Amino acid sequence: MNLLQKWQQNRLFSPFVLELLVIMFVVEFVKGALLLTILPVYMKTSLGASAFVIGWTLAAQYIGDNLLRTPVGWIIDRIGYRWTMLTGVLLTFMAVVVIATTTQYIWTIAACAMLGFGTAPLWPCVITGTTEVAGDEAKGTIMSVVYMAWLSGVGLGPVAINFFIHGTQYSLAFRLLLGCMTVVVLVALLLPKKQGKHGEEEKAATLAVTERREGTFIQRVAAYMKEVRRSLSVSPLMFPAMFAQTFALGILTPILTLYAKEVLKLSSLQYSMFLIAGGAVTVICLVPMGKLVDRIGIRPFLIPGFAISAVTLLCFSFTKSMALLYVLVAALGIGYALIIPSWNALIASAIPPEKRGTVWGFFLTIEGLGMIVGPIVSGKLWDVYGYHAPFLMSGSVLVVLLVLQMFISIGKKGMVR
């Protein structure tokens, strides 16, 4: 069998999966460029907003995104991928238009909330669609590919957009982002209404007719969620574990730049090199690790991943040697390259295939709460206890997770109990 035939038979690189990955990469590129590079400076210099207003502007995006993830999962199960994703990317496109044209920060805040609503379908659609295609035998590999697309977009967006910003002139940067969103809208139009075999479209249509006869919209949603709970066989420990995993990461999000600039006194170039060192190691290792997770199992990678990351974070703020700091950053990248495919394979194993969209949306909501609470706790720890505290808290949470995951049993086929 030649290489072309192998590629055509590989479900992980089907047109459907590639379309989802392109949307993931480009939307995260736009989002990263806006939230991390453009908005904090643009709102301060061009719109005259205070730091408090800027903080709430960014928070509006995360809150809007997280609030809709569970409903979006339910919608995916009902109407499929194309219209769910298309609605989201059109809202995102409109949000970028408003941000690019408004001169009042109140509209920028509203646009960021719209951006959150628009990006809410992204993760449920991508995770649901790709894991449906991959099946149980390749869930670690596909999660690695998804996170590689995400990390590449998030990392490249804030860096690349700087080449299109000239002083206080942002028009070229906004044109680039609008061009990117135009591409995403066109790709979303190519998505199927439903993915899978066994006549899912017909089944969904029949179910919709049946539901219309059975009661109001609220009653149908409540009945569906009750059915989801019955079909979901998962350890109760999974829910605090999912929150803790993103909480540990959320603690680091707002203080990394602060620590680099105020404590380590790094230049922008040095800080960029640190981010590239950790991010590049993670991206390079993700797919090989994902393939090994599918071949060997979840636990052999989850335990060392949590252990390496925890030790690295507990030591990080006490290290002043630049060479050793690079080693620790690379080690953290390896740790997360071990965690991402194995942890998400663990979560995917707990999801009933027939309720994939709704359950992924619910799980992503729990994980999103960690990303909301983490930064709030982090700022308080920094102000009250100093710069060591957030790193110690994040490392300690990972130690707790290392112990907690040992009590979540994994069956022979990777099913969580």
Q: Are residues 205 and 255 in the same domain?
A: no
For 167, the 3-state DSSP assignment is coil
Q: Which of 214, 244, 279 is the last residue of a domain?
A: 214
Position 63 in a domain: yes
Model confidence band, residue 414 (pLDDT cutoffs 50, 70, 90): very low
Contact 282, 407 (CB under 8 A): no
The phi-psi region of residue 180 (left if phi > 0; otherwise alpha if psi is between -120 and 50; otherwise beta) is alpha
Cα–Cα distance for residue pair 204/311, rounded to 1 Å: 48
Contact 119, 88 (CB under 8 A): yes
Q: Are residues 248 and 354 in the same domain?
A: yes
Q: Are residues 178 and 51 in the same domain?
A: yes
Position 222 in a domain: no
Of the listed ranges 217-226, 315-324, 350-359, the one predicted with least confidence: 217-226
Position 220 in a domain: no
User: Tell me, what CATH number does 356's domain have?
Assistant: 1.20.1250.20
Range of the domain at 272: 234-417
How close are the terminal C-alpha atoms of the chain, in Å?
Answer: 40
Tens digit of pLDDT for each residue in 242-272? Answer: 899 888 988 887 677 678 777 888 776 677 7
Model confidence band, residue 4 (pLDDT cutoffs 50, 70, 90): very low
Q: Are residues 187 and 253 in the same domain?
A: no
Find which of 173-177, 230-234, 290-294 is predicted with most confidence, using mean pLDDT: 173-177
Position 153 in a domain: yes
Find which of 77-81, 94-98, 316-320 is predicted with most confidence, using mean pLDDT: 94-98
Burial state string for 115-142 with b = 16 or more CB within 10 A and e = fewer than 16 = bbbbbbbbbbbbbbbbbbbbeeebbbbb
How confident is the model over 7-25, as a mean pLDDT? 78
Position 225 in a domain: no
Q: Is 415 a residue whose pLDDT tops 60?
A: no
Position 3 in a domain: no
Q: Are residues 41 and 157 in the same domain?
A: yes
Model confidence band, residue 205 (pLDDT cutoffs 50, 70, 90): very low
Q: Are residues 238 and 323 in the same domain?
A: yes
Q: Into how many domains does the chain fold?
A: 2
pLDDT in the model for residue 313: 93
Q: Is 177 a residue whose pLDDT tops 80?
A: yes
Please indicate, yes or no, whether the overall pTM of this predicted structure exceeds 0.75. no
Position 224 in a domain: no
How confident is the model over 195-207, as a mean pLDDT? 45
Residue at 271: amino acid letter = Y
Nearest CA to 343 out of 287, 369, 305 is that of 305
pLDDT in the model for residue 52: 66
Model confidence band, residue 197 (pLDDT cutoffs 50, 70, 90): very low
Position 403 in a domain: yes
